[in-house]
């Protein structure tokens, strides 16, 4: 339950050994490569260069090709495994097998070619459908589309807006000339189509007569034969393209047996990308390369075993105090506190010379979350749901941490639910009323308190929990200051405020609360005065003069207002506890009005919604209390998470073994 001690690694090796060395470092997964502090623009380092990046580009292209192939299989041959299907386990030797990788790339290229054929087929189909739609209005006319008329007769294909009725067109043409005839064709949403046959000398008169109706000529150049003949030919082409499209889909689906190989190849290419990205942090000469990195001190023997297999010169050293900001942070936690590293990484990693907050935060996070949720039913659902997901999906990393964290929070919710007697709110009480079962209390034993009826008790409990966490943060800060040689700041800071706060509370309670011994007020007053003296002394010492008296008043005001507001922030524990209980009670009461069956239906739906809202609300507000009110007391951030070069897979699990 601490920050892992790290060692710095500096290495000079032979360039032909570079790939093999990086591969083995990736296999053991405990070395993070960093950029060396070398200015390559400096003439003194002119012989050094960065590794060329063609390998990274190639790995990314192959990863995209393989991922796209998997996506195509997902469309045309969906996997039969469910959401919680466990990942297959393979050895690193199987993952990095060159033959399987070449096979996967071949399958991916085949799928990519079929996808291109599909795209061509679909584009051609869209083109033909557009052509068919343009011919459809003329399908009722038995006239060749390439008919251009004769020297004396004009044949014109035309259109007008769809709102124009055909008799009006005939009337206008009839008034203009007797040497013309209109033949109606089809229409669509926008246009009405027709064929105009007229004497060549009357063409101009017909055009003038039709112009007020929005007449325009339709260009059908490039077509021969009737519209019906062309539509029939297009339908035949569409049918052939449809068969070719289905054949492409079938050929892709036939490669579904390569899914496992493709998945392993995607994971393999991902490792290539990680290794190439790490290689970009090295510097080279024509014959050698230089590596700079960090690894956990307790894995020194493992790192040395790998390095001793190569002709290289290396050194390992503990980081100096000046190097602390560069040191990557790895937290060593037990199974109870390890899941909470997801919160620490979300907030900010601690500094190398700071303190690991996870063991300190975990009990409060679990306690506060359960306090706000406080329901046996919700807690049971959380426990069952997280256990089921962990068992079936076997997640790793962040998802596993989140599920483990919610599992512990579910147990805490059950504990607080037993104290408040809440089981899906007052579900049992309403159920007993509807079924006529006699009962004297909500649960099977008298609750210690209920959020709705014992508001003051809940409020006092919330503030008490806040005081405990704030004082815990102050205690941690005090220990850290003594550890770093800042005893003066500890005594005139946190310790002084302990005397002030506890002394003020004792003085007030000793004089205002009946039944308490008067000596309590005297002791409290003495502690208060001592705290003020320590605070004043600290200001004077730090300012090296009486100028500290001026800042003393500001410190008193800021301290009192700060502690007061921070402790009041914990009233959100009461607010969330009461909100969840009231919402559950409202849904249960609403359903009970209409009888037993509607009660059960409404209660299930309402409590499901309430559970989702509570999960989000409790998580967010518990997180806020840790990150602001608690961490702000002692947390020294500024570190960055340890990200070693290792094997991280998406589709398979790796069984560690020597390769």
pLDDT at residue 548, rounded to an integer: 58
**How far apart (Å, rounded) are the C-alpha atoms in residues 279 and 285?**
14
pLDDT at residue 249, rounded to an integer: 93
pLDDT at residue 438, rounded to an integer: 64
Reduce the DSSP state of residue 314 to 3 states and report it: strand
Q: Range with the lowest mean pLDDT among 372-381, 497-506, 601-610? A: 497-506
Instruction: Indicate the length of the chain as a whole number.
Output: 659
Mean of pLDDT values over 547-555: 66
Is residue 182 a contact partner of residue 202, using CB atoms and an 8 Å limit?
no
Query: What letter would DSSP give residue 178?
Result: S
pLDDT at residue 426, rounded to an integer: 83
Choose the most confident range, by mean pLDDT, from 236-245, 329-338, 439-448, 648-657. Answer: 236-245
pLDDT at residue 513, rounded to an integer: 64
Q: Using the predicted structure, report yes or no on whether residue 659 has a pLDDT greater than 50.
A: no
Cα–Cα distances (Å) from 363 to 67, 179, 200, 408, in that order, read 42, 99, 98, 10
pLDDT at residue 20, rounded to an integer: 92
> Mean pLDDT across the chain, nearest whole number?
87
Q: Using the predicted structure, report yes or no on whether residue 169 has a pLDDT greater than 60.
A: yes
Q: Using the predicted structure, report yes or no on whether residue 563 has a pLDDT greater than 90.
A: no
Is residue 328 a contact partner of residue 33, using CB atoms and an 8 Å limit?
no
Chain segment 44-95, per-residue pLDDT in tens: 676 788 888 888 999 999 999 999 999 999 999 888 765 566 788 888 888 8
Residue 5's nearest CA partner among 353, 340, 304 is 353
Q: Using the predicted structure, report yes or no on whether residue 547 has a pLDDT greater than 60.
A: no
Cα–Cα distances (Å) from 314 to 6, 14, 332, 427, in that order, read 16, 12, 27, 68
pLDDT at residue 497, rounded to an integer: 84
Beta strand pairing call for 153-161 and 216-217: antiparallel
Q: Using the predicted structure, report yes or no on whether residue 366 has a pLDDT greater than 80.
A: yes
Two tokens, residue 162 = 């769809």
**How far apart (Å, rounded) are the C-alpha atoms in residues 431 and 334?**
43
Mean of pLDDT values over 317-326: 90
pLDDT at residue 658, rounded to an integer: 45
Chain segment 412-465, per-residue pLDDT in tens: 999 999 998 888 988 888 887 787 766 555 456 678 888 888 889 999 999 999
Two tokens, residue 114 = 């079929």
Q: Using the predicted structure, report yes or no on whether residue 544 has a pLDDT greater than 70.
A: no
pLDDT at residue 346, rounded to an integer: 82
Chain segment 234-259, per-residue pLDDT in tens: 999 999 999 999 999 999 999 999 99
pTM of the predicted protein model: 0.75
Two tokens, residue 286 = 């024509």
598: pLDDT confidence band, cut at 50, 70 and 90? confident
pLDDT at residue 52, rounded to an integer: 82
User: Which region holds residue 222: left if phi is over 0, alpha if psi is between -120 and 50, else beta?
Assistant: left
pLDDT at residue 250, rounded to an integer: 93
Show the CA angle centred on residue 182, arms to residues 179 and 183, nearest 5°. Answer: 140
pLDDT at residue 606, rounded to an integer: 92
Reduce the DSSP state of residue 649 to 3 states and report it: coil
Q: Does domain 147-219 have CATH number 1.25.40.10?
A: no
Mean of pLDDT values over 609-637: 90
pLDDT at residue 125, rounded to an integer: 95
């Amino acid at each position: 339950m601490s920050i892992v001690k790290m060692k710095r690694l500096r290495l000079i090796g032979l360039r032909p050994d570079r790939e093999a060395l990086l591969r083995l470092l990736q296999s053991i997964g405990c070395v993070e490569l960093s950029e060396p502090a070398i200015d390559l623009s400096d003439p003194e380092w002119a012989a050094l260069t960065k590794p060329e990046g063609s390998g990274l580009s190639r790995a990314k292209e192959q990863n995209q090709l393989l991922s796209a192939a998997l996506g195509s299989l997902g469309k045309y041959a969906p996997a039969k495994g469910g959401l919680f299907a466990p990942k297959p386990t393979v050895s690193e030797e199987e993952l990095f097998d060159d033959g399987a990788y070449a096979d996967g790339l071949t399958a991916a290229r085949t799928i990519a070619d079929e996808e291109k054929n599909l795209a061509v087929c679909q584009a051609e189909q869209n083109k033909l459908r557009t052509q068919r739609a343009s011919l459809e209005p003329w399908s009722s006319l038995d006239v060749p589309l390439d008919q251009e008329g004769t020297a004396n007769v004009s044949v014109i294909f035309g259109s007008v807006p769809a709102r124009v009725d055909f008799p009006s067109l005939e009337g206008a043409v009839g008034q203009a000339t007797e040497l013309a005839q209109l033949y109606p064709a089809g229409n669509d949403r926008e246009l009405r189509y027709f064929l105009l046959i007229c004497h060549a000398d009357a063409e101009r008169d017909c055009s003038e007569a039709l112009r007020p109706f929005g007449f325009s000529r339709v260009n059908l150049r490039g077509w021969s034969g009737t519209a019906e003949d062309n539509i029939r030919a297009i339908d035949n082409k569409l049918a052939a393209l449809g068969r070719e499209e289905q054949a492409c889909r079938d050929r892709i689906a036939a490669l579904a047996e390569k899914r496992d190989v493709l998945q392993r190849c995607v994971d393999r290419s991902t490792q290539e990308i990680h290794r190439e990205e790490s290689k970009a942090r090295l510097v080279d000469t024509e014959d050698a390369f230089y590596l700079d990195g960090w690894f956990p001190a307790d894995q020194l023997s493992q790192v040395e075993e790998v390095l001793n297999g190569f002709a290289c010169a290396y050194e390992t050293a503990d980081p100096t105090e000046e190097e602390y900001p560069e040191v990557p942070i790895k937290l060593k936690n037990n199974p109870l506190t390890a899941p909470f590293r997801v919160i620490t990484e979300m907030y900010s990693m601690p500094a190398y010379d700071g303190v690991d907050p996870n063991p300190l935060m975990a009990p409060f996070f679990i306690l506060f979350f359960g306090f706000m949720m406080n329901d046996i039913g919700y807690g049971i659902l959380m426990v069952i749901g997280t256990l089921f997901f962990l068992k079936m999906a076997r997640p790793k990393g962040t998802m596993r941490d989140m599920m483990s964290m919610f599992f512990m929070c579910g147990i805490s919710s059950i504990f607080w639910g037993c104290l408040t007697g809440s089981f899906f709110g007052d579900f049992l009480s309403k159920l007993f009323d509807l079924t006529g079962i006699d009962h004297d209390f909500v649960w099977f034993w008298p609750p210690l308190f209920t959020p709705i009826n014992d508001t003051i008790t809940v409020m006092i409990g919330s503030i008490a929990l806040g005081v405990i966490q704030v004082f815990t943060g102050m205690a941690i800060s005090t220990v850290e200051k003594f550890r770093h040689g800042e005893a003066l700041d500890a005594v005139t800071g946190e310790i002084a405020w302990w005397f002030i706060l506890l002394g003020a509370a004792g003085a007030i309670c000793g004089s205002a609360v009946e039944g308490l011994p008067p000596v309590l007020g005297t002791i409290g007053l003495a502690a208060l005065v001592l705290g003020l003296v320590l605070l004043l002394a600290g200001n004077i010492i730090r300012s090296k003069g009486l100028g500290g008296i001026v800042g003393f008043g500001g410190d008193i005001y800021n301290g009192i207002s700060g502690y007061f507001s921070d402790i009041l922030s914990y009233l959100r524990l009461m607010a969330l506890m009461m909100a969840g209980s009231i919402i559950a009670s409202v849904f249960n009461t609403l359903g009970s009005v209409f009888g037993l069956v509607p009660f059960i239906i409404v209660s299930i739906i309402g409590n499901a919604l309430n559970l989702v809202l509570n999960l989000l609300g409790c998580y967010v507000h518990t997180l806020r209390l840790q990150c602001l009110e608690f961490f702000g007391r002692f947390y020294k951030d500024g570190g960055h998470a340890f990200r070693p070069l290792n094997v991280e897979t998406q589709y398979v699990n790796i069984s560690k073994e020597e390769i």
